[in-house]
Amino acid sequence: MTDRVPAGTGRLGDRIFGGTAKGAGLLVIAIVTLIAGFLVSQALPALAKDKANFLTSTQWNVDGTPLQFGIANLLWVTVLSSVIAMLIAVPFGVGVALFITQYAPAWLSRTAATLVDLLAAVPSIVYGLWGLQVFGPHMSGIQDFLVTYLGWFPLFSRSGIGAASTILTVGVVLSIMVLPIITALSREVFAQTPVANKDAALALGATRWEMIRTAVLPFGKPGVISASMLGLGRALGETVAVMIILSALADGTAWSWSVFHGGETFASKIANNAAEFDSPQKAGAFLAAGLVLFLLTFVVNSIARIVINRSKAFSE
Amino acid sequence: MTTIDLASDARPNAGRPDAPGPNLGLGLEHRSRGRAVRNQLARIVMWTAFAIAMVPLAWILWSVISKGGAMLLDSHWWTNSQRGITNRVVGGGAVHAIQGTLMQGLVTAVIAVPIGVMTAIYLVEYGRGRLATAVSFMVDILTGIPSIVAALFIYALWVTTFGFQRVAFAVVLALVLLMIPVVVRSTEEMLKLVPNELREGAFALGVPRWKTVVRVVLPTAFSGIITGVLLGLARVMGETAPLLILGPYTKNIATNLFGGLMPTLPTMINQDRTEVLQPAVDRVWGAAATLILLILILNLAGRLIAHFGRPKT
Amino acid sequence: MAKRIDVKNLNAYYGTFRAVEDVTMTIEPRSVTALIGPSGCGKSTFIRTLNRMHEVIPGARVEGSVHLDDADIYAANVDPVGVRRTVGMVFQRPNPFPTMSIADNVVAGLRLNGLKNKTVLAEAVEASLRAANLWNEVKDRLNKPGAGLSGGQQQRLCIARAIAVEPQVLLMDEPCSALDPISTLAIEDLITELKSRYTIVIVTHNMQQAARVSDRTGFFNLVETGQPGRLIEMDDTHKIFSNPSIRATEDYISGRFG
């Protein structure tokens, strides 16, 4: 058990302690394996009976026979809302992190960091309530403007959904929700920029902004990417806020590319139907949707990991 | 200047229009206008980004306080449940939901923190080779697992496979899955910050590795670990998705994790969120205010402990 | 090209703590001036006031004046960014930009100044690396990370980076303290070569080094910990090391105290 422990090998205390630590690690591996295994094993029977194309169909008919369900709609709404969220949150998150670490005067820096962290303390159900009832109605101005002037573009075409319940509103609320994640991690890496690197840039005659571009941003890039990926994972999987805000559509509603449309994400689809997991077959269909969401976040995380490892290899 | 020629003092870039201007005279006050403008612009952009980021925070807090704050001032809110109260009637309290949220959070932490901290210790202090890489990779995956997927997994395990009822403990299990990676990552970061000199110093004195970890490394990283735990706790306490699938709401006080329904603040909000009758609407925002308050207290406690528990070294 | 530095009644503070008290000195162009003294005597703080790097630290400030030839670098209309371009600096630990290649490190300062022409940049890379006696060692791996070099090579890379923008003055804050003796020797040779072109100020803990490379030597000292550092004596190096006029200097260089 302790053959890899470099120091103190052979002592009973070390064996017990090291063994427990290793056990915890193995438990984590077991949990993730189990999650994947269970999702796959319970989704497969339902997928086998699916008479529609699972990837390209927009139908979701799991009550009767034959089963006909596909994820095209869910995938589109999930990705679109998350992309909107990232387009807003990443630049803002990096900007706020730079503000806190490089620009804010000392007295403001800590307070600013705490205030941004507070955004993460707001539960997603409160974001949902606020997004639908308070913030959402204010989106109608932007919606009218975009529909009027850019309505020819499929993303901004007119749809019959109220401004509070559109994919765009969800995207904006999601961006607020992931902002503290991106900011917190980015500011940590920015703050760790070696003073030597910052001094080097300043001593070459860099302005503060040039120092940030030469020393702080390159040093923090892997951290920002990993922060953004964590934020993206959170946005893709966010459930309750999306469920509350987004207007779910009746089955058979015509496809639309518009950000002013309604719909459901993987997560909100599952949550909306939580009360109806009455047959294994039906639950299996939702588990299949959950499995795709799992794979989606898995891919996002893997990309982040590869990027980080590459940049590490370069800086070492 | 573009080329360095030690043999002469001549300016090698004279007459080269693309080269930056040499420091004629001294030119100390001279800087390209574009650079100065960009520098100022960057400063303005950062300040603005922060100002805009504060808007939703203030707005949300204002909404919650103005719509639900009044409920918190009524002492019945903190002592009564919603037993026997209908949507048309003013009254009742949130104590049943508060108690459920606290209980589930506490049990979640009791299970998740030891697993998370030990996993982090394994990764930082013991882990070498492929197993450590695998564990670290799995933690990454776990970090990215959406709460709804964790809930689905527990549902597939607890209800579909074992045939058990939806009870509070199933919720706790789902929350444990969400809390473990938060604890692992924050602890790992803190352990990595502990300077290697401290460890080597202890080894040099003949202190066994595990004692070094327990006596030297963990205390040094303690404040950071606690902060990570409390932030993780704050996150799982606000989670609603697992509750939707595994923890249906009830208006009554419940203390049994293994049988019957257990109410929580998020499900209390969810229960009546589409109501239009004023007493119910007030209670929804009141529960929201209570939940935020609870989580803020946790955050604050985390920061205070982190501040005062910091080792003096 | 090299400039004379005139320091008058200079005080440097960290918040309310005065680290350097009332320093007045003149540093001749095209010479090497060494600043020696015990730890904490303010010599590193002092050298950072010569290119306005001191004020980068929050709460740090400077009183008094520093003139480069006739221009006061602390005058109200002076941009510290311009000062730092004119007065280059090399730090105690080699600090190449970790995410940049060797070549990019060398021309980082030129790029900041808006130079984009690839041919010109490539010329500057070679010229600066040659001037820093590093060209032959790295010419085959200019696109590899600078962090992959040895400590001594990294420090010479930092010197190349500093002289690529062709400063008037080169400040070196204990440039060899993190290096082995062979690398130290290489840097010292380089300093001797560079002084034909730059005004060089070097802070060092190593008195042999000061004696080997410098023309003039300033001795800093402090009465006790918590007190500000002062310039005790400044003179030609051979005079300081053979026949100093002040007792404290003699005690320090003969190893009797400090």
Q: What would the pLDDT profile of B247-267 be if each residue is shown by its tens digit?
A: 888 888 888 888 888 999 999
Q: HEC string of chain A?
A: CCCCCCCCCCCHHHHHHHHHHHHHHHHHHHHHHHHHHHHHHHHHHHHHHCCCCCCCCCCEECCCCCCEECCHHHHHHHHHHHHHHHHHHHHHHHHHHHHHHHHCCHHHHHHHHHHHHHHHHCCHHHHHHHHHHHHHHHHHHHHHHHHHHHCCCHHHCCCCCCHHHCHHHHHHHHHHHHHHHHHHHHHHHHHCCCHHHHHHHHHCCCCHHHHHHHHHHHHHHHHHHHHHHHHHHHHHHCCHHHHHHCCCCCCCCCCCCCCCCCCCCHHHHHHHCHHHCCCHHHHHHHHHHHHHHHHHHHHHHHHHHHHHHHHHHHHC
Q: Do C113 and A314 touch (CB under 8 A)?
A: no
Least confident among A81-95, B37-51, B167-181, B182-196: B182-196
Average pLDDT of chain B is 83
Q: What would the pLDDT profile of B220-248 be if each residue is shown by its tens digit?
A: 888 888 888 887 888 899 899 999 888 88
Please determine, for residue B26, whether its predicted confidence score (pLDDT) is greater than 80: no
Residues B181, B185: Cα–Cα separation, whole Å: 6
pLDDT value at residue A313: 55
Q: Do B2 and C131 touch (CB under 8 A)?
A: no
Q: Do C147 and A194 touch (CB under 8 A)?
A: no
Residues A14, A10: Cα–Cα separation, whole Å: 7
**Which residues 173-192 in chain C show a CB within 8 A of chain A?**
none
Residues B240, A124: Cα–Cα separation, whole Å: 7
Choose from C53, C89, C95 for mutation: most chain A CBs within 10 A. Answer: C95
Q: Which residues from chain A sit within 8 angstroms of residue C95, using beta carbons?
A: 194, 196-197, 199-200
Cβ contact C225:C38 at 8 Å: no
Q: Do C161 and A204 touch (CB under 8 A)?
A: yes
Identity at B272, one-letter amino acid code: D
Cβ contact C14:C228 at 8 Å: no
Q: If you write DSSP's letter for every residue of B48-68 in order, what string do you get? A: HHHHHHHHHHHHHHHHHHHHH
Owner of token pair 């307070």: A111
| Burial bucket for residue C87 (CB in 10 Å: 0-12, 13-18, 19+) | buried
Residues B60, C203: Cα–Cα separation, whole Å: 56
- Whether A201 contacts chain C with CB within 8 A: yes
Structural domain including A102 reads 71-310
Q: Which residue of A has its CA nearest to B294?
A: A121
Asked whether residue A2 is assigned to any structural domain, the reply reads no
Residues in B lying within 8 Å of C, measured between beta carbons: 1-6, 9, 13, 16, 18-20, 22-23, 25-32, 34-36
Q: Which residue of C has its CA nearest to A212?
A: C112
Name the residue among A199, A204, A316 with its Cβ closest to that of C112: A204
Q: HEC string of A65-97?
A: CCCEECCHHHHHHHHHHHHHHHHHHHHHHHHHH
Residues C158, C96: Cα–Cα separation, whole Å: 6
Residues C17, C228: Cα–Cα separation, whole Å: 8
Average pLDDT of chain A is 87
Q: Which residues from chain A sit within 8 angstroms of residue C113, using beta carbons?
A: 205
Asked whether residue A33 is assigned to any structural domain, the reply reads no
Mind telling me how many Å the CA of B108 is from chain A's nearest CA?
16
| For residues B6-15, average pLDDT | 34
pLDDT band at A311 (very low <50, low <70, confident <90, very high): low
Residues A176, A185: Cα–Cα separation, whole Å: 15
Q: Which residues from chain C sit within 8 angstroms of residue A308, using beta carbons?
A: none
Q: What would the pLDDT profile of C185-203 be if each residue is shown by its tens digit?
A: 989 999 999 999 899 999 9
Q: Which residues from chain A sit within 8 angstroms of residue C81, using beta carbons?
A: 205-207
Q: What would the pLDDT profile of B279-289 be if each residue is shown by its tens digit?
A: 899 999 999 99
Please determine, for residue B188, whether its predicted confidence score (pLDDT) is greater than 50: yes
pLDDT value at residue B247: 82
- Whether C85 contacts chain A with CB within 8 A: yes
The token duo for C103 is: 């070549």
**Closest by CA position to B268, among listed B114, B77, B118:** B77
pLDDT value at residue A301: 78
pLDDT value at residue A162: 86
| For residues B129-152, average pLDDT | 88
CA end-to-end distance (rounded Å), chain C: 37
Name the residue among B139, B144, B240 with its Cβ closest to that of A298: B144
Q: Do A208 and B39 touch (CB under 8 A)?
A: yes
Per the model's pLDDT, the better-predicted residue between B298 and A301 turns out to be B298
Please determine, for residue A3, whether its predicted confidence score (pLDDT) is greater than 60: no
The CATH number of the domain holding residue A266 is 1.10.3720.10
pLDDT value at residue A229: 87
Mind telling me how many Å the CA of C203 is from chain B's nearest CA?
24
| For residues C241-250, average pLDDT | 90
Asked whether residue A139 is assigned to any structural domain, the reply reads yes
Choose from A204, A209, A212 for mutation: most chain C CBs within 10 A. Answer: A204
**Closest by CA position to B147, among listed C87, A243, A5, A222:** A243
Range picked from A126-130, C175-179, C246-250 for highest mean pLDDT: A126-130
**Closest by CA position to C111, among listed A205, B24, A229:** A205
Q: Which residues from chain A sit within 8 angstroms of residue C91, using beta carbons?
A: 196, 199-200, 203
Least confident among A274-278, B228-232, C123-127, C251-255: A274-278
The DSSP letter of residue C256 is S
Choose from C74, C110, C113, C166 for mutation: most chain B CBs within 10 A. Answer: C166
pLDDT value at residue B21: 37
> Cis ω on the peptide bond leading into residue A66 (within 30° of 0)?
yes
Per the model's pLDDT, the better-predicted residue between B11 and B141 turns out to be B141
- Whether C144 contacts chain A with CB within 8 A: no
- Whether C93 contacts chain A with CB within 8 A: yes
The token duo for B114 is: 């030891």
Please determine, for residue B306, whether its predicted confidence score (pLDDT) is greater than 80: no
Angle (nearest 5°) at CA A24 between A18 and A26? 100
Cβ contact B173:B156 at 8 Å: no
Choose from C52, C56, C107, C144 for mutation: most chain A CBs within 10 A. Answer: C56
The token duo for A107 is: 């007295």
Q: Do C68 and B28 touch (CB under 8 A)?
A: yes
Q: Do C73 and B4 touch (CB under 8 A)?
A: no
Q: Do C115 and B2 touch (CB under 8 A)?
A: yes
The token duo for B264 is: 């929580």
pLDDT value at residue B14: 34
| Burial bucket for residue B59 (CB in 10 Å: 0-12, 13-18, 19+) | middle
pLDDT band at C114 (very low <50, low <70, confident <90, very high): confident
Domain ranges of chain C: 5-96+168-253
Q: Do B244 and A305 touch (CB under 8 A)?
A: no
| For residues C14-27, average pLDDT | 93
Above pLDDT 90, what percent of chain B? 38
Q: Which residues from chain C sit within 8 angstroms of residue A315, using beta carbons?
A: 98-99, 145, 147
Mind telling me how many Å the CA of C232 is from chain B's nearest CA?
30
Count of domains for chain A: 1
Q: Do B125 and A233 touch (CB under 8 A)?
A: no
The token duo for C84 is: 């730092």
- The pairing of strands A68-69 and C17-27 is unpaired
Mind telling me how many Å the CA of B7 is from chain A's nearest CA?
24
Task: Specify the 3-state DSSP secondary structure of B103.
Answer: helix
Identity at C163, one-letter amino acid code: I
Q: Residues of B148-157 as b/e, b for ≥16 C-beta within 10 angstroms?
A: bbbbbbbbbb
Q: What would the pLDDT profile of A200-259 be if each residue is shown by its tens digit?
A: 999 998 999 999 999 999 889 888 988 898 889 889 999 999 999 999 888 778 888 899
Residues B142, A35: Cα–Cα separation, whole Å: 10
Q: What would the pLDDT profile of A33-57 be if each residue is shown by its tens digit?
A: 999 998 898 888 888 888 888 888 8
pLDDT band at B120 (very low <50, low <70, confident <90, very high): very high
Name the residue among C112, C113, C131 with its Cβ closest to that of B4: C131
CATH of domain C5-96+168-253: 3.40.50.300
Owner of token pair 């290697």: B196
pLDDT value at residue A312: 61
